[in-house]
Amino acid sequence: MQLGLSFSDSDVSSFTPLVVLELADDTKAEAITWLLNRIRDKQQNGGAELLVNQLLFPAQDDQKSNPNVFVVGSTLQRLLNGAEDVGLFKEFQDGTMRGFTYANRESFKDFNGDGEGFLSDAECQYIIKHGLDTLRAKNEQHVPGYPKLKLYPGKSVVRRLQSKGVLIQYFPLHNKEDLKRLSFSWYKKFKLSFQPLDDIRHYFGEGLALYFGFLEYFTFALVPMALIVFLEVWKRCSATLAYGWGTLSRKKAFEEPRAGFHGALGFNPVTGREEPVYPSSKRQLRIYLVSVPFVLLCLYLSFYVMMVYFDMEFWAINTYHENPNIATSILLFVPSIIYAVVIEIMNLLYRCAAEFLTDWENHRLESSFQNHLVLKVLVFNFVNCFASLFYIAFVMQNMVLLRQSLATLLITSQILNQVMEAFLPYWLQRRRNKKVHKRMRRLMGDKELPLLGQVQLETEMNTYLGTFDDYLEQFLLFGYVSLFSCVYPLAAVLVVLNNITEVYSDAFKMCHVFKRPFSEPAANIGVWQLAFETMSIIAVVTNCALIGLSPQVKAYFPESDTQLILIVVAIEHVLLAFKFILAFVIPDVPKHIQVKLAKLDFDSLEALKKRKILEATET
């Protein structure tokens, strides 16, 4: 089957392929023809005005490769117009960041000639993704060839195809040369310098760059353990980064319903367009009658497992005391290690359940879906990971056991994490690479097939599911460090060591293990800022309580516990008040960025005034 233009490497030069589109291998020919026409059609006619070609793999003997793989590219003109449509901010001649407009293109800093090289690869791919995502049904009742794939005017074609499994995936291609340069500056040479955040952003987009920025910032902040202020200062760093990347003042486009959202067809009160509508009361019922009880049940289960762990712990201690030798002294650590592994498994299982439940709650917007998912996962993970430590610290008041449990939990979870998220995928990826290379070599002999090979390889790579898991891991590490920092300061050292390797393994996995992700414009780290701030408040409370419990402090107040408690509570309140005052006093956006933003507002107001006066004199 061959539809429209197709090309092998000989005519690759017709355009630079930027995004790969993979349809199911049994997709009907009329649907493919229709989709390609819609993608190629002019924007005036409601098309995406992009270039798209089928990628033909040579016939294969042993294994069928999917024939319906397409590469998408674009003309430079379309990309520049698209940059204006998506509201990209670029650096202006005067050093401020401004919304790009094609009419003023010559006034932007790095715009030379026809604009070649003005947009980064990641930006071009983002523009193409936006073009594909906003390709909307016109008068089609359904996808040609698929009477069941209903469409209505304004429905995003790509989302409908994706939700029904016709479109398997679409992803941006790696750029081998850029990737090599990035890898080199990022992790190939060991150095004590900062990460190349601008390069990372250039290649992977703002969301991921902010994650690495936060990771670096977090690690540095751990060194002096200056945790109380550190989140306030991060907001400023983040604002500075986001300004330089043009995402700080960029307006969010109207948010479309997420792909999985379903409901009876109705009218959106904002757009006035037809789209599925799902009553919010039904959603609330699902949340409060199903999700909340489920979370509570899981928390109960987590407590139950904790109690089993304590039974094991006591058994191990008794065994050791009855018969103290090397074997039984090793046995002392076994319950903690088993518990740590069980915690990780429970977290994983719960994560799947939470995703399923949140999906079933049928949130209209991706952002609201994410918020509910994050909330569910955070509450459970917090309790699951830290309940035993709280129990040991404040009910058993056993500081030796606390230190030991903390160390075991922390080290075990770090090792598990590194294995699960870097080594395992890396090993799987290598195996897959070898297989693909072998297959290609057998098929083509010695002919080099860069594009075909690359697409084949990247199609089979794992998909990066976003920064959620990475932030979650940092959040839990932050908990281990901060909640009990005054009894086990060594935790900070362990986390710093972990994060140094984490930067390298994350960088490596982004470059070589996963498909390249689409750039995701982000102005801040979103709900995670709140999560980290909440944790830091809880940490103030726990640390004050721990200090109050410490024998050294208790020795100062031999007669009266009351006085000691009152003093500890007073100090705690002062610290908390201090935190809130700091949050209020330190502006979230640094002064020099504020000035630039004000300048932007002022200039656009002035421009408006001038236009009005011009219009007035014309008429």
Binding site for a second copy (CB under 8 A): 43-44, 84-85, 251, 253-254, 269-271, 530, 541, 561-562, 565-566, 569, 573, 584, 595, 598-599, 601-602, 605, 609, 612-613, 616-617
Q: Which is nearer to a second copy, 33 or 134 (CB)?
A: 134
Measured from the CB of residue 618, what is the shortest distance to a second copy in angstroms?
12
Contact yes or no for 132/73 (Cβ under 8 A): no
Q: How far is the CB of 498 from a second copy (least distance, A)?
A: 30
Closer to a second copy at the Cβ: 49 or 123? 49
Please say whether the beta carbons of 464 and 429 come within 8 A: no
**Cβ at position 142, least distance to a second copy in Å:** 26
Q: Which is nearer to a second copy, 465 or 566 (CB)?
A: 566
How many CA atoms lie less than 13 Å away from 133 in the CB half-sphere? Answer: 17
**Nearest approach, Cβ of residue 582 and a second copy (Å):** 14
Q: Which is nearer to a second copy, 110 or 601 (CB)?
A: 601
Residue 546 buriedness (CB in 10 A; 0-12 / 13-18 / 19+):
buried
What secondary structure letter does DSSP report for 259? T
CA distance 232 to 584: 9
Considering beta carbons, is residue 285 or 530 the nearer one to a second copy?
530
Instruction: Spell out the residues 6+ positions from residue 370 whose beta carbon is closer than 8 angstroms to its own.
Output: 468, 527
Four-residue CA torsion sign, 480, 484, 485, 491: negative
Question: The tokens of 167 are what?
Answer: 């479109």
Alpha-carbon distance of 269 to 250, in angstroms, equals 24
Whichever of 264 and 616 has its CB closer to a second copy, that residue is: 616
CB of 292 to a second copy, least distance (A): 13
Look up tokens 């070589």; give the residue.
Answer: 512
Nearest CB to a second copy, comparing residues 10 and 562: 562
Residue nearer to a second copy on the CB measure, 192 or 270? 270
Q: Which is nearer to a second copy, 99 or 425 (CB)?
A: 99
In which residue are the tokens 């449509």 written?
85
DSSP letters spanning 464-516? P--SHHHHHHHHHHHHHHHHTTTT-THHHHHHHHHHHHHHHHHHHIIIIIBPP
Q: Give the shortest CB-569-to-a second copy separation in angstroms.
A: 5
Residue 145's contacts (CB-CB under 8 Å, 6 or more residues apart) are 28, 29, 30, 31, 34
For residues 394, 398, 404, 410, the Cα torsion angle rounded to the nearest 10 degrees is: 0
How many C-beta neighbours within 10 Å does residue 164 have?
A: 14
HEC readout, 188-206 = HCCCCCCCCHHHHHHHHCH
For residue 108, give the DSSP letter: B
| Residue number with CB closer to a second copy (438 or 609) | 609
Token couple for 449: 């097939």
In whole angstroms, the minimum distance from the beta carbon of 573 to a second copy comes to 7
Task: Report in angstroms the alpha-carbon separations of 495 from 215, 226, 237, 368, 560.
Answer: 11, 15, 22, 31, 38
| Tokens representing residue 97 in the block | 């960041």
27 forms beta bridges with none
Q: Nearest distance from residue 254's CB to a second copy, in Å?
A: 5
Q: Which residue's CB is nearer to a second copy, number 12 or number 597?
A: 597
- Smallest distance from the beta carbon of 401 to a second copy, in angstroms? 22
Please answer whether residues 495 and 480 qualify as being in contact, where contact means their C-beta atoms are separated by less than 8 angstroms. yes
Question: Is 436 or 545 the residue whose CB approaches a second copy more closely?
Answer: 545
What are the phi and psi torsion angles at 618 (to 5°)? -65, -40
Taking the complex as a whole, the smallest distance from the CB of residue 263 to a second copy amounts, in Å, to 17
For 54, the 3-state DSSP assignment is strand
CA distance 356 to 611: 53
* Rounded least distance, CB 291 to a second copy, Å: 15
For a second copy, the closer CB: 84 or 178: 84
Give the nearest distance from C-beta 440 to a second copy in angstroms: 44
CB of 283 to a second copy, least distance (A): 13
Ranges assigned E (strand) in 92-166? 97-99, 142-143, 146-150
